[in-house]
Amino acid sequence: MCGIVGIVGNDANLNRLQNMLSAQAHRGPDSTGTFNLENIVSLGHNRLSIIDLSNASNQPFLSSDYRYYVVFNGEIYNYLEIKKQLENDFDFHTTGDTEVLLNAYIKWGADCLEKLIGMFSFVIWDNQNKSFFAARDRLGVKPFYYHISSNGSFYFASEIKSIFAAGVEKVVNNTVWANYLSQGSYDNSIYTFWENIIQLESGHYLTIIDGKLEINRYYYLFDKTGEDFDPRPIEEVREEYFSILQDTIKLRFRADVPVGINISGGLDSSALLAMVNNVQGQDSHVKAFSFYTNDDRYDELPWVEQMISKTKHPLEPVLLTAKEIPDLAQALQNIQDEPYGGIPTIAYSQIFKSARAQGIIVLLDGQGMDEQWAGYDYYRNQNQELNKAVIQGSKDNPFKSSTLRTDFSSLSTSISYPTPYNDNLRNLQYRDAFYTKIPRALRFNDRVSMMYSTELREPFLDLRLFELAFKQRPEYKIDGNVGKYFMRELLKTMLPGNVVEAPKRPLQTPQREWLKNELKDWAYQNITLALASKPEWFNKEEVWNTWDNFQAGKSDNSFYIWQWITIGLMKV
């Protein structure tokens, strides 16, 4: 896990590149490397050493024939298998995945992307043809942002702040902000909260040849699954899925640094822990981390401890208190560059801080199972509107359009998601996997892990699992009022019964309660800052009326309160 930056065109120079690297130095504290051809191309890399810790794998990495340079953020988990396919064509000088990736591109070009199991954003510069190639993984686990200047120079980076550090003007994208405040949407398109800062879509690659930029899609889930359901009996599907699960866990334990696990008391992370135990063996000493807030209404430590009592993994509980929130919220906002998910995201970030302090550099978590096997409660509503945003566990409207000025809210655009499948359930799952829930969580998680120079790996986001799950009939996913039926049946022999049968619970903290009590004054101050910063966005009187109603307990969620706090923290 690392950071990449660069400039192609007349703006390319070493000073700009160094500023970009400094802005995201937290992504790679182990080495900083550059390649610069003045006014042609500049490439930079912040390295967090995970595989092959030697200097030989530092980047930018140069091919043996001195023609190609690569900067790479992520991990190619099946690099050893790909390396075997390339051994007759190349002499390898490192034991890392970066050299394998570069040689795979040299041999197969863009077709190498079909062979990669991993998370990645990478750039390859052909110094002979002066051509540029960039690609992002199938689900967009690793970020890739870019900007095209008025003179045609192309800037790219792992984090938006690095592009601003190069001297690009910081201007809010009012349409994206209007969509976020009125509909709660973010990370659902190529556009960001900042004008002229674009993200390369997941499953796409980008080329610049003779000054011409072109973007192509190389991965489309529907092409892999088709419309027809898998006709096989469920027992046969379970056997294949379990085999892939074992492989995806094994691959993600490939590291030359210590590996830990993030867990809650839910089925997903408990399944992950059980699978780790299955793959690593009963004597595994992989440490598990879980946050808590000392609030029995939300804390999942009792569930976690039940699971740990079975697997015997060492457990590190990580406490978050209300008094820590003001400083942590600001620090995390500075890292995120865009709005993030509130106090649950802050709590999650402290796991990475704790892990890093104990020398654990890689952490696994259970993100992705809900979207595969229909775990969210609204999946059970076959009439659920596809283009309507939903906050899990909330009945009250989480978006307060009445607090926005009419001229600003009118900038909001209607949001429409693709419907590649004939059934509503798979279209909802597809939306959540590629446009809403997973993209949002991936952005939050990338920043909170890299904030503390740690790497997050998410085994359930292996596309082999998604492809198999999306071929399955609805009754394999939902049984009556129970979601993730397939996974519950699969894991019955591995998990305590009360974990397997437990209903889906949103990952929660006492955010609503804290914002009414311990953090009330802090929230008020940030909302005041937001109104002063963007008076053209808000109906001030209605904001304070809504705030009073929230304080009076007339709302079951605090999503909109956090939206306003975010604007105060960001000082947009």
The secondary structure of 102-162, three-state, reads HHHHHHHHHHHHHHCCEEEEEEEEECCCCEEEEEECCCCCCCCEEEECCCCCEEEECCHHH
The C-alpha atoms of residue 554 and residue 531 are separated, in whole angstroms, by: 22
The C-alpha atoms of residue 151 and residue 39 are separated, in whole angstroms, by: 12
Maximum separation of any 2 CA atoms in the chain, in Å = 71
The pLDDT value given to residue 481: 84
Nearest to 76 by CA among 280, 262, 254: 254
Residue at 556 is within a domain: no
3-state secondary structure of 49: coil
- On the CB side of 156, CA atoms within 13 Å amount to 30
Q: Is 480 buried (19+), middle (13-18) or exposed (0-12) by CB count in 10 A?
A: exposed
The C-alpha atoms of residue 71 and residue 121 are separated, in whole angstroms, by: 9
Residue at 182 is within a domain: no
Same domain, 377 and 474: yes
Residue at 505 is within a domain: no
Residue type, 50: I
Phi first, then psi: what are they for 2, rounded to 5°?
Answer: -150, -165
Chain length of the chain:
572
The C-alpha atoms of residue 101 and residue 81 are separated, in whole angstroms, by: 12
Same domain, 204 and 256: no
Same domain, 362 and 490: yes
How far the first Cα of the chain sits from its last, in Å, is: 29
The C-alpha atoms of residue 524 and residue 514 are separated, in whole angstroms, by: 12
Which whole-number Å values give the CA distances from 314 to 19, 219, 305, 357, in the listed order? Answer: 41, 39, 10, 16
Residue at 293 is within a domain: yes
Answer yes or no: pTM beyond 0.85: yes
Residue at 272 is within a domain: yes
- In the sheet with 68-76, reading across from the earlier edge strand, the strands are 61-62, 68-76, 118-126, 131-136, 204-209, 212-217
Same domain, 210 and 258: no
Strand partners of residue 34: 44
Q: Are 76 and 119 in contact (CB under 8 A)?
A: no
Q: What is the separation of C-alpha 56 from the centre of its chain, rounded to a whole number of angstroms?
A: 29
Residue at 215 is within a domain: yes
What are the strands, taking DSSP E only, across 370-514? 455-457
Residue at 406 is within a domain: no
Residue 135's CATH number: 3.60.20.10
Residue 219 CB neighbour total at 10 angstroms: 17
Same domain, 258 and 200: no
The C-alpha atoms of residue 239 and residue 455 are separated, in whole angstroms, by: 30
Residue 460's CATH number: 3.40.50.620
Phi first, then psi: what are they for 337, rounded to 5°?
Answer: 75, -20
Residue type, 27: R
Mean pLDDT by groups of 10 residues along the chain of 572 residues = 94 98 97 97 97 95 97 98 97 97 98 98 97 98 98 98 97 96 88 97 97 97 97 94 96 95 85 86 81 91 83 91 98 97 96 97 94 91 70 75 96 93 95 95 96 97 97 94 89 67 66 97 98 97 97 93 97 87
Same domain, 244 and 214: no
Q: What does DSSP assign to residue 509?
A: -
Burial 444-476 (b: 16+ CB within 10 A, else e): bbbbbbbbbbbbbbbbbbbbbbbebbbbbebeb
Q: Are 417 and 432 in contact (CB under 8 A)?
A: no
Same domain, 141 and 239: no
Domain boundary among 465, 500, 535: 500
Q: Is 339 buried (19+), middle (13-18) or exposed (0-12) by CB count in 10 A?
A: buried
Q: Are 332 and 448 in contact (CB under 8 A)?
A: yes
Q: What does DSSP assign to residue 402?
A: G
The pLDDT value given to residue 261: 94
Residue at 496 is within a domain: yes
Q: Are 194 and 160 in contact (CB under 8 A)?
A: yes
Same domain, 215 and 271: no
Beta-carbon contacts of residue 63 (< 8 Å; ≥ 6 apart):
69, 70, 102, 103, 106
Residue type, 186: Y
Determine if the peptide bond prior to 510 is cis (ω within 30°): no
The radius of gyration of the chain's CA atoms, rounded to the nearest angstrom, is 23
The pLDDT tens digits of the residues spanning 510-538 come to 999 999 999 999 999 999 999 999 999 99
For tokens 């088709």, the residue is 226
The C-alpha atoms of residue 564 and residue 525 are separated, in whole angstroms, by: 10
Same domain, 247 and 156: no
Same domain, 440 and 463: yes
3-state secondary structure of 356: helix
Same domain, 351 and 212: no
DSSP state letters, 508-563? --SHHHHHHTTTHHHHHHHHHHHHHH-TTTB-HHHHHHHHHHHHTT--S--HHHHH
Give me 440's structure tokens: 């949002």
The C-alpha atoms of residue 504 and residue 378 are separated, in whole angstroms, by: 11
* Full residue range of the structural domain in which residue 458 is found: 229-381+419-500
Give me 150's structure tokens: 């008025």
Domain boundary among 476, 500, 524: 500
Nearest to 139 by CA among 453, 480, 439, 550: 439
Domain boundary among 500, 531, 551: 500
The pLDDT value given to residue 438: 96
Number of domains in the chain: 2
Same domain, 101 and 201: yes
The pLDDT tens digits of the residues spanning 392-404 come to 666 778 889 999 9
